[in-house]
Structure 1
Amino acid sequence: MKSKKILLIPFFILITMGSVAFLITDNNYRANKFDSPSTSITPPRVLYVGVAGGPLHIDPIDAWDPNSFNVIDQVAEGLFGYNLSHTEVPIIPVLAEDFGAWGTVDAEGHINYTVDIKDGVTFHDGSTLNATDVKWTFDRIENMLNLDLVEAGELYQYHDPEENLTKNVINTTYIIDNNTIAFELNSKYGPFEPLLTFQGSYILPSEGQIPFDNYIELNTGDLIGTGPFDYISYESGAEVKFESFDNYRNGAAHFDKLIYKIIQENNARNQALLDGEVHIVLDTHEDFYDEFNSSINNLELKAPENSFDTDYLCMNNVLINKTVRKAISYAIDYDYIINEMYNGYAKRLKSPIPSGTRYSNNSFNVPILNTTKARIIMQDMGYGTSFSLDDDNAWETATFLSYKYTYNTENEIRESILGLLQDNLSGIGIDIIADEVTYYELIVNLLGYPGYSRDNLNLWWYGFEPSYNDPSEHINNHFTNRTKAINTAQVNDSQVQLWMEEALFEIDENVRERLYDKIQKRLVEEIFPWAWGIENRFHIAYVENLKGYPTNSMLKSYFYPCYFIDYDSPTWQEPLTNQNVIYDKDFFYDVNASDISTVAYSINDSVNFFIDSETGILKNNTILSIGDYWLNITVEDAYGNRNNEIIKVMVKDSDSPTDAIISYPAGIIISIALIATIGLVIIVRNHINLKQN
């Protein structure tokens, strides 16, 4: 029993010393990932974005390419824009106070659209937005249209079928008052509000900052807008720089700077995200998707639910009749295209108006792979009438029809479609002949340039991305021979033509929707102008603690909503040490911590000491008495993650070396001494008892 009691003594001392050690060691605290960020500390300073290329233009009316739009969308804004967080990206007022009001049609067929403008909106140069700026912007568009200098000029014009003339959508713009503008249109125009969301319609200041009859120069000019970021500079092939606009009407962005790092080589750009050189990559490649999806790399890979970007098999409607087009449509293996050629990163296109677009309707009977049905259609035309429907060898060895498939070899998907068509269409007796061309040759034939013709093409795989969210972008562009047409398939259906023109000049949303339902049904179930292909699901990859990026079917890049979430505590740049100070002398100690966000410093003794919350400089508040002071120094980041360290400040009356052994507060020392004394008493008592026995 004697030895057992004696062994308890060092055990108690060990527990006590362990408690002391716990009190003086680093105390790291990780915020719960669902905690709200602290509002008293600013977030990370810079967001780095990996992009494939820089802007070709920074002037909104000179731009019609994604790299330019990626820049312009951060800087300038229109009267209307989109709710990019919604799957159907509905139009919302941006610089407009609300949606406008339509007037009545006058004797000349003109109609007014009147809009109230938000009050108190500021341009980056400090000028205030008003109706004059709106009028000036659209007067400039009209002037540049007359000079043939608007890159997307066709969007601002339409074909009047009655007069057989091309007219401007807007006749004139005039000011009602300082915050009210009226657009006088040459006719009712259904997609007018969507047109006002287009980048070319973004509002610019009117006080001489922007040239009226020329473009903003790419390398030396300055794009001035009302958006959340101020355009700073563009270094060709290297980077585009923006700074947060502090006076943005909805508050400054969550970071001070936005930098596009231009990395043209595909693998290098995607690798930059894995290497931590950028926070987000816009142009991801599917070869990296597994790594981007991996939790090991702390990255996320996202795609919108819908996509307005579509690919499809065009068929020359002049050279290939409707019944053959129908047979071809039922002979194609769309699942193979989606799962093998697009590796599952696409979904089926079921209408000429893709999912999520205004008035899109996917309820119609879009053709799917049904070889038997395709063969029945061929037999109805007199082909293969002696063949059994399940005699694959007979159908595959027969050649009833031959068509060229034109493709450019620089495009892997288009080249792959060749093999699919040769395989699928041989099953209905159609021979596909490879027609390899350059991309330039493909385009000039599609556009019918002199010396080239759309009739040089039979079948080709092509794609389209609209300029704004309205069905007219998909229907009028592709299926008319009169209005602003890129009708490369040469579709010429009089009923569809009539309905699309009615819809274009209709402003009643319910009437427009009914018309587009009729158009979709006829094209999908009766005309078969294309084999409806796929909706691309383009993916964005970013670090997992970047939140708020709005993946969207318009494929717009917009970084204002983005912010960082931090799960890790700040780290001290150098270990904190005990400090000596001479009595009646000022005390100074600079502590520094690192984190992805800015940090704030604090201490437990604000009576005797002061620490600058931003710099970490620690000083005395008063003359310190001789003795020891124990300070708990805490650093906290913007998301509530903390790290703290306890040090001892020793105030002495003269310079003397610091003891190598760490000293502890007097109360703790007394506790240790007391436990040791009690243990000693127990030993002595036991010793006496044993002796007496």
Structure 2
Amino acid sequence: MEKKNIAITILIVALVASGVGNIILALIQEPQVAPDTTDYLVRATSAGPDTLEIVDAWDSASNDVLEQVVENLFFYDLTNVDLPRINLLAYSYYWTDTTHLQIQLREGILFHDGTPFNAAAAKWNLDRLLYLTNCTGTNPSTVAQTQSLWMFPDGVTPIISSVATVGTHNITITLPAPYAPFLSTLTYINAGMISPTAHASDATTFIDLTTGHLVGTGPFEYVNYVPGVEVRFARNDAYWMEPANFPGVIYAIYSDVTTAHNAFLGYTVDWNAMAADQNLALYVADPKLTVKYFTVDTGKPSLVYQYMGINNNKYNATWRQAMAFAINYSYVIDVLRLGNAFRAYSAISPGFGGAYNDSVPTGPYAIDHDVVAARDIIQAMDLATTLDVNDDEDWTDLAAATPLLTVTHTYNTGNQFREDYQVAITSWFNLIGVAVVDDGVTFSEFLTYLYDDYDHLGVYAIGWAPDYLDPY
């Protein structure tokens, strides 16, 4: 059968793990797609999973893999742009009071290994979640980095007290106190359902990324992961809803975005999740390709944020303010993102509707690339007091020779926006006498710093997407 040209690129306001790139006509090394995958959907991505452990997953590259295989009790209707929460493996639910949730499970569902999904399986998974996040207080080993999701804001009290089976297809979850976003929290992959039979040896340990074989109830079965090459899935023909349209899916991993771009133009891949804003016009001009602009097409803002983090332990509030004043936000939006973004004025996306504070700030919060104001702040610290705050050359010379401060900028390579941002931020910070060290690393290395080695970070470019669709 002739391969279907299903070439789709989805543009959201910002990409979390995916890269974006410029055009280079030469093809470099590409992941190899076997001849028997003619009708597979092939998706270009910049990174493979950091983990196969659903309870420890907290990055987009891992979640993209896990969510093809594993399903939750509750999820969101992805066919509805408003993303209403729906019952998935749960058939129905009922709050008997503010701390007791009764859930009736769907019947007749099998895990990929043939194990029945039932109340015992659901309890096994939720008990495992509580153990691996050490909400039980009994885990002496590695604790999942997602622990805070399953705790009240005090960081001590778990949001789940216990899980009990009631017959074969009903469970009761008891909370220690009312928790409004509880159902939404259950939509996150940490609370997904994996086979207690296939994962019996993983009951108290993480699923190994190299040797593990994920078994869920989802529309695709996990086949394998070849680091740096691909992740492969096969259709679950016994799926409890309609089977998927494709016999399989391949996440083809590209270390650089230009190779993925050329593969997309050559129809080697069907979906380019590494699309650069600068290349969209080429895709639009190709009659075989389809470009979807999320906000333009739906009228909805994205829920994804891009931001620059600053290590508060290394740089005090005064330095952080000077850096913030030096950044050219308009340049980021208009040039680096080609208008496909807007400046945020709230801690959450306007995609959350009424919870978003849409008041436009004034005063220092509205400053855009005011290097003179930034220099005034620096001189108020009794630094560079002999320099003219209006002389750019004096300040850039200072940054080159004897910088007032040297900051490390960490980001994941293979992301064109972040690579371009490195060039821009170096220029902006040099204008206030600050030198910048380019610390571009792989996405996996970046996650290691973010999760386990905070002290390595100076400033860092990162994206954020909600774990579940509830601002509270």
- Cα RMSD for the two superposed structures: 4.1
**Counterpart selection for 1:311 from 296, 307, 311:** 307
Matched residue of 2:52: which SS? Answer: coil
The number of residues matched between the two structures is 398
Residue in 2 aligned with 1:407? Answer: 409
Deviation, 1:349, is 1.5
- Name the residue aligned to 1:462: 461
CA contact (8 A) 1:123 1:224 kept: yes
Amino acid at match of 1:434: A
Corresponding residue of 2:59: 65
Partner of 1:346: 341
Structure 2 contact 328–369 (Cα < 8 Å) conserved: no
Structure-2 change in CA distance of 1:134 and 1:408 (3 Å): closer
Give SS of 1:348's match: coil
Q: Look up the SS of the partner of 1:259 in the other structure.
A: strand
One of 160, 168, 173 as aligned partner of 1:178? 168
SS at match of 1:170: coil
Q: TM-score, normalised by structure 1?
A: 0.49
Say which SS state the counterpart of residue 348 (structure 2) adopts.
coil
**Cross-structure match for 2:251:** 260
Alignment of 1:475-624 (within 5 A): none
TM-superposed CA distance for 1:421, in Å, is: 4.7
**Against the structure 1 CA distance between its residues 210 and 53, is the aligned structure 2 distance closer, same or farther, given a 3 Å change threshold?**
farther
1:419 aligned to 2:427? yes
Aligned to 1:81: 75
Counterparts in 2 of 1:92 and 1:310: CA distance versus 1, 3 Å: farther
Pairwise CA distance, 1:290: 2.9
Partner of 1:428: none
CA contact (8 A) 1:408 1:442 kept: yes
Report the AA paired with residue 409 of structure 2: Y
- Give the CA deviation at 1:134: 0.7
Correspondence for 1:114 among 102, 119, 136: 102
Tell me if the contact between 2:151 and 2:157 (Cα under 8 Å) persists in the aligned partners.
Answer: yes
Alpha-carbon distance change, 122 to 447 in structure 1, aligned in 2, over 3 angstroms: closer
Give ranges in structure 2 of 5+ residues lacking alignment: 1-37, 296-301, 382-387, 399-403
Matched, 1:200 2:190: yes
Change (3 A) 1:90 1:315: farther
Asked whether the equivalents of residues 407 and 437 of structure 1 are also in contact (C-alpha less than 8 Å), the reply is yes
What secondary structure sits across from 1:69 in the alignment? helix
Structure 1's 147 and 114: CA in aligned 2 closer, same or farther, altered over 3 A? farther
Counterpart Cα distance in 2 of 1:249 and 1:353:
36
Provide TM-score, normalisation by structure 2. 0.70
Alpha-carbon distance between aligned partners in 1 of 2:59 and 2:270, rounded to the nearest angstrom: 23
Q: Give the distance between the partners of 1:447 and 1:128, measured in 2 at CA.
A: 35
Asked if 1:300 is matched to 2:295, the reply is: no
Partner residue, 1:126: 114
Q: Percent identity?
A: 24
Distance 1:341 1:315 in 2: 24
User: Deviation at 1:260?
Assistant: 2.6
Q: 1:136 Cα shift?
A: 0.5
Residue 228 of structure 1 and its aligned partner are, at CA, apart by 0.9
Q: Give per-residue Cα distances to partners, 1:65-118, cap 9 Å, x unaligned.
A: 3332222111110111123344454432211224552624xxxxxx32322222
Going from structure 1 to structure 2, the CA distance change for 1:60 and 1:364 (only over 3 Å counts) comes to same
Distance across 2 between alignment mates of 1:135 and 1:448: 30
State the 1:175 CA deviation.
1.2
Q: Alignment partner for residue 361 of structure 1, among 331, 356, 366?
A: 356
The higher-RCO structure (CA 8 Å, 6+ apart) is 2
SS of the residue corresponding to residue 65 of structure 2 reads helix
Q: Structure 1 residues 202 and 443, CA, compared in 2 at 3 Å: closer, same or farther?
A: closer
Letter in 2 for 1:119: E
Separation in 2, partners of 1:226, 1:443:
28
Task: Evaluate the alpha carbon distance shift between residue 192 and residue 131 of structure 1 in structure 2; reply closer, same or farther with a 3 A threshold.
Answer: same
> In structure 2, what is the equivalent of residue 158 of structure 1?
151
- Summarize the Cα distance change of 1:127–1:270 in structure 2 as closer, same or farther, 3 Å threshold: same
In structure 2, what is the Cα distance between the partners aligned to 1:358 and 1:193?
Answer: 19
- Give the whole-Å Cα distance in 2 for the aligned partners of 1:149 and 1:225: 23
